[in-house]
Each structure stands twice: as C-alpha cells, then as structure tokens.
Amino acid sequence: MALLEIRNIDCFYGDVQVIFGVSMHVDEGEVISLIGANGAGKSTLLRTVSGLMKPRSGEILFENEPVHDLRPEQIVDAAIQEDVDVVGLSILSGAHVALTAKVLEGLRSRGAGDILVLVGGVIPDDDRQKLLDMGVAAVYTSGAKIEDIAGFIRSSVRALEGGKGSR
C-alpha cells in the first residue's frame, strides 16, 4: 500500500487546465523529486497535494484514505496517529474559522496543541486575523508561493525540535 497516492488529478486555474491526469504513488520511506520546466505544473501539483488547491477531478489518498473533505476529528486523529509537526488545512466552503477552531480545539484537548496548523485558501482579511488570534501558525491565500510555505514550515519545525517534548 502506498503512503501517498495521486490518482488521475486534473487541475485548473479558472477555465485553463494546467494539470492533466497526473498519477503517482509514494511508498513509506521513499523520497521523490518533481522535475520539469517552468510552467510544467510542479508547484500546482504540490499545492494540490498540500490542500491549497482542490483538484477538479481525480483523488489524493493518504494511507488509502481520501484527504479532501475530512471532518475535523478525522484530521486530529490522523495528525496524532502519525505524530506530525504540521497540519495544513485548505477549506473552500467558507467555514474556515469554525472548522479550524474545531481542529485546534481537538488538538489541544488531546495534548497535541504544539502541532502547527496552517490554513490556506480564499480567506478574507478579517478572518485571517481571527485565525491567527485563534492560534493558527500562518494563513496563506491563493497567491502564496510554495517556496515561502515550505520555508516557514522548515524554520518552524526546526524551532520546535529544539524544545519539543514527547506528546
């Protein structure tokens, strides 16, 4: 069983299709690289896998479970079970404040409040500040660069590693 499986993903920016039927799988312990010319879709694929974009078709599975449309308690369960350092949420329903609050509350109530939570999507400025005040580590909108997100995660996880106890 693949740790991460991408099945026939199609992604669009508006009416323009930029990812065409991409499929791949990553086994546990495996390291992969995405190589291609500028505009080939590498960043778009990473945005989609990380939840910053939603594919128009196809599916993304983590440990054979779909990663889109998970309930907050499923996200909390998976984060704790996998002992992650970061949870990324992409909420396209407009309920980002309420759903993020449930994830944060679930993590804190189970002793995992040190897990960083990032939120991405179309987030109004007023809601962005609400999310940060609730304890979200960072909020990224659709124009965010994947390099900036990855850099934030790297530096934040390094800072956590210095003083992190076991959960």
Domain 4-66 classification at class level: alpha beta
Quote the pLDDT of residue 166: 46
**Domain 4-66 shares a fold with domain 72-163:** yes
- Measured CA to CA, the distance from residue 136 to residue 99 in angstroms comes to 12
Q: What is the pLDDT of residues 6-37, one digit of tens each?
A: 999 999 988 999 999 999 999 988 888 889 89
Split at pLDDT 50, 70, 90, the class of 163 is low
Q: Domain residue spans in the chain?
A: 4-66, 72-163
Q: What is the pLDDT of residues 119-146, one digit of tens each?
A: 988 788 889 999 999 999 999 987 888 8
Would you say domain 72-163 falls under CATH 3.20.20.80? no
Q: What is the pLDDT of residues 85-124, one digit of tens each?
A: 999 988 766 778 988 999 999 999 999 999 999 998 878 8
Alpha-helix runs per DSSP H in the chain = 42-50, 72-81, 96-109, 125-134, 146-163
Burial degree of 63 (CB within 10 A; 0-12, 13-18, 19+):
middle
SS3 137: coil
Q: Are 41 and 25 in contact (CB under 8 A)?
A: no
